[in-house]
Chain A
Amino acid sequence: MTLYPRVRNVKEINLATRIMFIISIVIAITCIIVNLCTSTRYLWCLIVIAGIIYSWITVIYSVHSNVNIGSSVTLQFIIISLLTLCIDYIFDYRGWAINLAIPIIIIIGNVTMLILTIVSVNRYYKYAIYQLIIFLFSIVPITIYFLFDNIITMPIFTIISSIITFFTFIMSLTLCGKNILEELDRRLHI
């Protein structure tokens, strides 16, 4: 008989963090190689690397603090998206916010939440509500793309971000679906 439920110990948390870190490095290197081998006109791999670094700053902050970082990620995710839209609108609307910036923000937001879910197995249920909010916001661009013409003129980033959104959401559901449902029931009960 054990006295406490299975909790991850320090070694396991460090191992999970290390694995996620290696995966990030592999993604960054792959992007650099693909970027250099295809076209060097735009160094888009730098955006990916910046996104990975941003995700990790958020994750490390979360791991070493006692706050529910899910709320901060969600808030940042929404505010930065709205901010880019405003800036684009103020400076002669060219559509870079909805075509490029917002899909990148969506990818970073979803990947950060996924890393947090994997790294902190015992607290994943706390992120559930935020994951759902991020998911709902993330599918707004692709919905706009299918419903309205001429708003999203360069759909490639929107499509990529949507694929990543669905992938991370399914991953989270697979890892902790029951707990997410429990948390949603708790938070949204009438």
Chain B
Amino acid sequence: MQKTTAWRRLDNSAKIFPIASTKKYSSVFRLSAVLKEKINPKILKTAVKMALENIPSFKVKLKKGLFWYYFEENNKEIRIEKEKNYPCKYIDPKTNNDYLFKVTYYENKINVDIFHSLTDGNSGVIFLKEIVYTYIELVHPEHFSTKLRIERKLSNNTEDDYLKNYDKESKPAKGGKKAYILKGKKLPLAAIGVIHVNINIEELKQKAKEKDVTVTQYLTAVIIYAIYNSNYKKYDGKRPIKICIPVDLRKYFKSETINNFFSYITLQANMKEKMLQNFNGILEFVRSGFKEKLTKEEISKTMSANVKLGNNIFIKTIPLFLKLIIVKLSYIEIRKYTTTTFSNIGRIGIIGEYQKYIDKFLMLIAPEAVEKIKCSSCSFENNLVFTFTSTLQETEIEQEFCEKLKEEGISITIEGNGVHDFIS
């Protein structure tokens, strides 16, 4: 008898990405590990294959059903390529052996571009770490015992934890106003400019502590400040600056899923208010905004509203081809409710023996037509890398951001992909 191919449903968040995604809105994020030695592509390919055996939930392709997309086991060969395109580009499954993630390398760097349907940033980190651990073990077999390998337990739980945790009685939070959309000249040839700001984490933590805020809150405030001073004022903005901050739900609900399990909060800064026209006022606004919105109840409201929408019997029974049209059209409007997104996946913890081989980690999220700049950050050891991905030619926001950090006495260094001539 012929063996049937394994398949699984997309989780509640994952459902929307293949429907809403286009070449202009790729829904792709990148996680990179910069090692202290040049990458060997053959060994990297073996490492990715081994990592896929350990985390098989990534070994899937996207298939069309009558009502929803679904994942099906993918047994094709994985492709490893030298990096030659801009980061976070739309992953065309046809040119990627149907995989929904793409592994590339350049010099000392391993990149994993992941289509958001597959998973979120936190589970993406688990996959990248598994690749990196395996790669290091293969390159330096003399330093790693099999015991260490066995001890690395990995979750392969692909349950939809949204369904387990949403509150059926919860009422949705109010939507809010449309956001200020960043203005400026677009980069030609669909280029994506990348600017990494390496920040000394001790100095950043100290500064945040002084101001009685967390690192995420502090950086959010600097982003609002930079947008306000270098773009909003210049183009005489009228609408509020709205920052979307993804939240890892695993911190609020018990979950071991490797699927998507995140929600978000949105801060709406009405810049016409006098209080918000100086940095300390913005800091206070961000602090109280987080306090009000970053609670289990509030996060549950947003999550539950989204789950209920996905579970609505009427929506469920709309054929996929109609969903594609409806969602793509409604997303033209929905995207106008966010100025930018800032995703901080926090500290990336690495087992001691492996640390000496790693220089840093990077996280990048795809900018798009409306959210022309997106921000992300992650930290490793004493370095936090804050990343701007942009489709704008101007770099005033990035410059203002860096200037503010320097003014606050925080040491930074800057790197980029050379699209802008900003790096000095």
Interface residues of A (CB under 8 A from B): 1-7, 9-11, 13-14, 62-67, 119-120, 122-123, 125, 186-187
Chain A residue nearest in CB terms to B362: A3
Please judge, given known A-B contacts A65-B190, A66-B190, whether A1 and B418 are in contact too, CB under 8 Å: no
Q: Are B188 and A63 in contact (CB under 8 A)?
A: yes
Q: What is the size category of the interface that chain B forms with chain A? A: 20 to 34
Please give the distance in Å from B19's CB to the nearest CB on chain A.
19
Given A2-B107, A3-B416, A66-B23: 4 more A-B contacts, CB < 8 Å: A10-B419, A120-B189, A122-B84, A122-B189
Task: Decide yes or no whether B83 CB sits under 8 A from chain A.
Answer: yes
Q: Are B107 and A7 in contact (CB under 8 A)?
A: no
Please judge, given known A-B contacts A1-B107, A1-B108, A186-B95, whether A7 and B188 are in contact too, CB under 8 Å: no
CA separation between A14 and B189, bound complex, in Å? Answer: 11
Contacts of A13 in B (CB 8 A): 188-189, 191
Task: Decide yes or no whether B21 CB sits under 8 A from chain A.
Answer: no
CA separation between A186 and B393, bound complex, in Å? Answer: 32
Q: Are A10 and B187 in contact (CB under 8 A)?
A: yes
Partner of B418, one of A7, A64, A120, A187: A7
Chain A residue nearest in CB terms to B415: A3
Q: Are A3 and B23 in contact (CB under 8 A)?
A: no
Please give the distance in Å from A22's CB to the nearest CB on chain B.
18
CA separation between A114 and B241, bound complex, in Å? Answer: 43
Write 14 A-B pairs (CB below 8 A) sorted by A numbering: A1-B107, A2-B107, A3-B34, A3-B107, A3-B415, A3-B417, A4-B417, A13-B191, A63-B188, A63-B189, A64-B188, A65-B190, A66-B190, A123-B85
CA separation between A2 and B101, bound complex, in Å? Answer: 23
Chain B residue nearest in CB terms to A14: B188
Please give the distance in Å from A103's CB to the nearest CB on chain B.
30
CA separation between A123 and B23, bound complex, in Å? Answer: 14
CA separation between A64 and B86, bound complex, in Å? Answer: 16
Q: Are A7 and B421 in contact (CB under 8 A)?
A: no
Contacts of B23 in A (CB 8 A): 66-67
Task: Decide yes or no whether B49 CB sits under 8 A from chain A.
Answer: no
CA separation between A67 and B86, bound complex, in Å? Answer: 14
Q: Are A4 and B189 in contact (CB under 8 A)?
A: no
Task: Decide yes or no whether B242 CB sits under 8 A from chain A.
Answer: no
**Which 4 residue pairs of A and B lie closest in terms of their CB atoms, listed nearest first?**
A4-B417, A66-B190, A63-B188, A66-B24
Please judge, given known A-B contacts A3-B109, A4-B106, whether A9 and B421 are in contact too, CB under 8 Å: yes
Task: Decide yes or no whether B15 CB sits under 8 A from chain A.
Answer: no
Chain A residue nearest in CB terms to B186: A64
Task: Decide yes or no whether B194 CB sits under 8 A from chain A.
Answer: yes
Please give the distance in Å from A124's CB to the nearest CB on chain B.
10
Chain B residue nearest in CB terms to A63: B188
Please give the distance in Å from B389's CB to the nearest CB on chain A.
12
Task: Decide yes or no whether B196 CB sits under 8 A from chain A.
Answer: yes
CA separation between A1 and B109, bound complex, in Å? Answer: 10
List residues 68-104 of chain B with CB under 8 A from any CB of chain A. 82-87, 95
CA separation between A67 and B190, bound complex, in Å? Answer: 8
Q: Are A9 and B84 in contact (CB under 8 A)?
A: no
Please judge, given known A-B contacts A2-B107, A67-B23, whether A7 and B419 are in contact too, CB under 8 Å: yes
Task: Decide yes or no whether B420 CB sits under 8 A from chain A.
Answer: yes
Q: Are B191 and A7 in contact (CB under 8 A)?
A: yes
List residues 384-415 of chain B with CB under 8 A from any CB of chain A. 393, 415
Q: Are B188 and A4 in contact (CB under 8 A)?
A: no
Partner of B417, one of A1, A7, A67: A7
Q: Are B418 and A6 in contact (CB under 8 A)?
A: yes
Contacts of B417 in A (CB 8 A): 3-4, 7
List residues 219-268 of chain B with CB under 8 A from any CB of chain A. none
Contacts of A6 in B (CB 8 A): 418
Contacts of B194 in A (CB 8 A): 4
Please give the distance in Å from A111's CB to the nearest CB on chain B.
19
Please judge, given known A-B contacts A1-B108, A3-B196, whether A123 and B83 are in contact too, CB under 8 Å: no
Please give the distance in Å from B283's CB to the nearest CB on chain A.
31
Chain A residue nearest in CB terms to B83: A5
CA separation between A67 and B191, bound complex, in Å? Answer: 12
Contacts of B419 in A (CB 8 A): 7, 9-10
Contacts of A11 in B (CB 8 A): 421
Please give the distance in Å from A79's CB to the nearest CB on chain B.
23
Contacts of A9 in B (CB 8 A): 418-421
Among A1, A122, A123, A125: residue with most chain B CB under 10 A: A1
Q: Are B421 and A10 in contact (CB under 8 A)?
A: yes
Contacts of B187 in A (CB 8 A): 10
CA separation between A13 and B187, bound complex, in Å? Answer: 10
Chain A residue nearest in CB terms to B24: A66
Q: Are A4 and B24 in contact (CB under 8 A)?
A: no
Please judge, given known A-B contacts A9-B421, A64-B188, A67-B23, whether A4 and B95 are in contact too, CB under 8 Å: no
CA separation between A1 and B106, bound complex, in Å? Answer: 10
